[in-house]
Amino acid sequence: MLIDIKDNSQGEHINDGRVRRKLLLGAILLAMVVLAGKAVFLSVFMFKNQSLKKWAANQHVTKVKLPAYRGEITDRYGDPLAISTPVKTIVINSTLMKPEQKEKIKVLGQRLNVSAKKIQNIVDGTTGLIEITLKRRANPDQVAWAKSMDISGVQFKSEFKRFYPAGEVASHLVGFTNVEDHGQEGLERLYDRSLRGVQGTKLAVKDGKRRVFRDVEYIAQPENGRSLNLSIDKRLQYLAYRELHKTYVEHKANSASLVVLDAKTGEVLAAVNQPGFNPNDRANLDMRHTRNRAMLDNFEPGSTVKPFVVAAALEKRYISEYDVFETHGFTRVGRNLVKDHRNYGPLSVTDVLKKSSNVATSKIALQLPREYMWETYLKLGFGSSAGVGFPGEASGMVQDFQQWSRFEQATLSFGYGMSASLLQLARAYTALADDGVVHSVSLLKRDEDDYSRRLFSKETAVAVRRMLEQVVKKDGTAQLASVDGYRVAGKTGTVKKAIAGGYAEDKYLSLFVGMAPASHPRFVIAVMVDEPSMGEYYGGLVAAPVFSKVMAGALRAYGVAPDQEQTMPILLSGKTDEIG
């Protein structure tokens, strides 16, 4: 009997292949069943477990903000007036606290000046928060102390803190930021958007205790804020602050302000006020003292506007330098009287300014067309903001000429019935200092003024400057404004303060505005002292000495050559007659 071995072996081989395929298919089906079952088990049964639900809720990718560096504010030479320094904020994670460290937490809270109630809520676990801030932007000593206590849950977050190296000296100008590093006052507020920069963002994984334990991706890097280069010269700012503070204290004044301008560019080289404040000490900040009065406060400028009336009259030849005006101590304008402190008799145009005669100035003004006088004031910058953009900057007021009576025109000629800020007043004097060209003003450094415009001829400006030099000489109203070795031109103002129903008899503003060297002025300085209360109140006795000291320092700092060989000795009478 023959057996076909070949055919039989082929059949067995086919059967074995079918078995293996069935086994493989079964294994795949079994794996799918197991995976599906696991998924059902996790989603239906295990998700009832609260710890797993918490884990699922907290193990997630989130966006984390990255702080941007706030731009510096510097003076014209790059010396910092406001900088941001890296600091640590001390926080505590309530989920990491240990019961045995409660007393340590209380001690730390006391050291960081955290309220006892807040600390008690933290240790009792009643805050309802996971992360609680203990101290924003802590100083290095506080950070070192917190680290040395080794308290579980105490953590340190990186931030930036604003610091003002000049402190009170530049505080009214620079201003300050709040705890969120947003500008609140001054230039910090005005340029907040560009100084602040743009925060960055990253994706990070946080755990159930809100701790970042892994960075995933940087979405956007932080863009640092732009720095601000001011026109301010820190040397002059310190000098002006020191001298104004002395006068403010000596005369027990209500307030005081001083502005220094570059006569050729209109840049603000210094701007100071009293009373002051320290922007680095926010805890004791008195908001009443944060007002930048030099730029925000309006007042009647008094006799300091008389040179502009004379200049306007000379420019259009309504008067000549050689005219003489009879004063008699008073003049009648309609039914009203304009008075001088005493009878000066006949006065030349130069003596009108030297003696500061209201009567003679009124006679000059009444020869001018009302519209022309009004336009001159407006072109000098009165009645409109000085344009530096300072928050709340004053515009002042000059009434429309169509509403002027003759008496109002007369009083406007010696600075009553109008208002201006000290910055506006200083700006107006650039028209006399720069040979008839009135400048715009700037708090940012610049090489030249693109917005200057001519108002008077050079001949008129030089003529008025010569007249104003006599104000500083013997028998003038501002002998104390002189600067040894230099010719000085300027004008005083002693202004009665307006009250309800009229003017106070015992409250004054003491003013002086001047320039030097008078031959080719380099600086314009304006000083205002509000309500000096120690007996002296004339501008020539209160404001002029401050001008002299600050101007002398400015001329030395910039190496300006003297324009006179010798200054004659000054004989002081201790009194001046000027009012207005």
d(CA 383, CA 395): 6
d(CA 96, CA 375): 73
Asked if 343 contacts 415 with a C-beta cutoff of 8 angstroms, the reply is: no
Asked if 328 contacts 347 with a C-beta cutoff of 8 angstroms, the reply is: no
d(CA 521, CA 430): 9
The residue whose two tokens read 């998924």 is 39
Grouping H, G, I as helix, E, B as strand and the rest as coil, residue 238 is: helix
Q: Is 519 a catalytic residue?
A: no
Kindly list the distances between the CA atom of residue 413 and the CA atoms of 107, 257, 310, 417, 566, in Å, as whole numbers in the listed order.
68, 24, 9, 9, 35
Cα angle value 414/357/293 (rounded, 5°):
40
Asked if 470 contacts 448 with a C-beta cutoff of 8 angstroms, the reply is: no
Minimal CA–CA distance to 305: which of 471, 419, 172, 170?
419
Kindly list the distances between the CA atom of residue 508 and the CA atoms of 288, 347, 472, in Å, as whole numbers in the listed order.
21, 26, 21
Strand-pair partners of 419: 397
Minimal CA–CA distance to 105: which of 128, 125, 76, 85?
125
Q: For the chain, what percentages of helix, strand and coil (3-state, to nearest 5) are there?
A: 40, 25, 35
Cα angle value 250/256/259 (rounded, 5°):
125
Q: Read off the DSSP letter of residue 568.
A: P
Beta pairing class for 154-163 and 80-93? antiparallel
Residue 230 C-beta-side C-alpha neighbours within 13 Å: 29
Q: Which residues of 442-479 are buried (b: 16+ CB within 10 A; e: fewer)?
A: bbbbeeebeebeebbeeebbbbbbebbbbbbeeebbbb
d(CA 309, CA 359): 13
- Residue 171, C-beta contacts closer than 8 angstroms, at least 6 positions apart: 164, 186, 276, 277, 278, 279, 290
Asked if 536 contacts 573 with a C-beta cutoff of 8 angstroms, the reply is: no
Residue 541 C-beta-side C-alpha neighbours within 13 Å: 19
Q: Which two tokens stand for residue 74?
A: 């510097």
Phi, psi for 166 (deg, rounded to 5): -85, -10
User: Tell me, what amino acid is at 397?
Assistant: M
Q: Choosing from 84, 171, 257, 303, which is the catalytic residue?
A: 303
Catalytic site positions: 303
